[in-house]
Structure 1
Amino acid sequence: MTHSIDIVTPDLCDAHPEVTVLDPMFANFGGLEAFYGPIRTIKCFEDNSMVKQAVAEPGNGAVLVVDAGGSHRCAMLGDMLAEQAVANGWAGVVMYGCVRDVEILASLPIGVQALGSHPRKSEKRGEGQRDIGVTFAGVTLQPGQWLYADNNGIIVAEQELPLS
């Protein structure tokens, strides 16, 4: 149930001026350049234990939004967690932080946007919070809102947008 249709965020912005646009700081790393779904959130810093826990659960077409504090000191998602996210039906991951194993991420049928790549893995201390509002890129993202992402940027809507 992966939402990987051809969405175009500029067209969605034109049709729905009420949407919120994240500041342009993310790059595409996943095999899907466009993805969308309801938001599920994690807030953590240099510890991806909660990310690992989330991608092991059914995604049901949701987008995992991770506020990793904007850290450029380690990766919070790599090939093994991304493969698990694909297997469990996540539409994508937006990482306010870094990812690794970028060649493999690019081959997987999942959307992944992040600030950059980093070869070092994160700590595993079991720290973090789930399903709370997270704020980065000039926007507060809440669980249950809808996120739409492509190479033009990332937008957030209060409810699912019609895509025709």
Structure 2
Amino acid sequence: MSFATTDLSDKYTHAVQVAEPIFRDFGGKLAFHGPAKTLKLFEDNTLVRASLEQPGEGRVLVVDGGGSMRCALVGDQLGELAVKNGWAGILVYGCIRDSAVIATQAVGVKAMATHPRKSLKKGVGEEDLTVSFAGLTIVPGAWVYADADGVVVSAEELQSV
């Protein structure tokens, strides 16, 4: 499906949520969309790896990292897993690292910033729950659409415009 978040926002004004413009593009694919798989964690990316090791089936991994700017939650090895396992993209409310390599990988990645420090590995976090950040409330299975102009979220799959 070809789409533009601007067109989806215009056509589905009352049916979509539009993210605050806090995310930057890092992945090799600027436009991506799919149903959300949600994670909530803080400075620990154990669940991110565990999720990306599973079949993505065209989904978008939505990582509510609490907006932490103290470490990265995704790096090039996790980007490689996302490509290998068929994830459409990763949306991180937090930081990533290895941005030069991630830019060459065939997956969409949006995050707030980069940070060289790796995260903790304690296995702390939750999955498949409603997360809220950047003016969005995302339930598992909601449709995430992202491109160079931003991120929109819908309760159901939208038709292209």
1:11 paired to 2:2: no
1:79 paired to 2:79: no
Contact 1:41 1:130 in 2 (8 A): yes
80, 84, 89: which one pairs with 1:92?
89
Contact 1:46 1:71 in 2 (8 A): yes
SS at match of 1:11: helix
In the superposition, the TM-score normalised over structure 1's length comes to 0.96
Q: Which residue matches 1:126?
A: 123
For each residue in 1:87-123, what CA deviation from the matched residue of structure 2 results, as whole angstroms up to 9, or x when unmatched?
A: 0000000000000000010000100000000000000
**C-alpha displacement of 1:7:** 2.2
Residue type of the alignment partner of 2:131: V
Give the Cα–Cα distance (whole angstroms) in 2 for the partners of residues 7 and 26 of structure 1: 19
Q: Which residue matches 2:61?
A: 64
**C-alpha displacement of 1:140:** 1.0
Q: Which runs of 4+ in 1 moved over 4 A?
A: none
1:149 paired to 2:146: yes
Q: Which residue matches 1:103?
A: 100
**C-alpha displacement of 1:163:** 1.5
Residue type of the alignment partner of 1:12: L
C-alpha RMSD of matched pairs (Å): 0.8
Contact 1:7 1:35 in 2 (8 A): no
- Greater CA deviation, 152-161 or 12-21? 12-21
**C-alpha displacement of 1:74:** 0.3
**C-alpha displacement of 1:19:** 0.8
SS at match of 2:100: helix
Residue type of the alignment partner of 2:10: D
SS at match of 1:14: helix
Structure 1 stretches lacking a partner, 5+ long: none
Identity over aligned residues, as a percent?
A: 50
Structure 2 stretches lacking a partner, 5+ long: none
For each residue in 1:36-78, what CA deviation from the matched residue of structure 2 results, as whole angstroms up to 9, or x when unmatched?
A: 0000100000000000100000000000000000000000000
Q: Which residue matches 2:157?
A: 160
**C-alpha displacement of 1:6:** 3.9
Residue type of the alignment partner of 2:114: S
In the superposition, the TM-score normalised over structure 2's length comes to 0.97
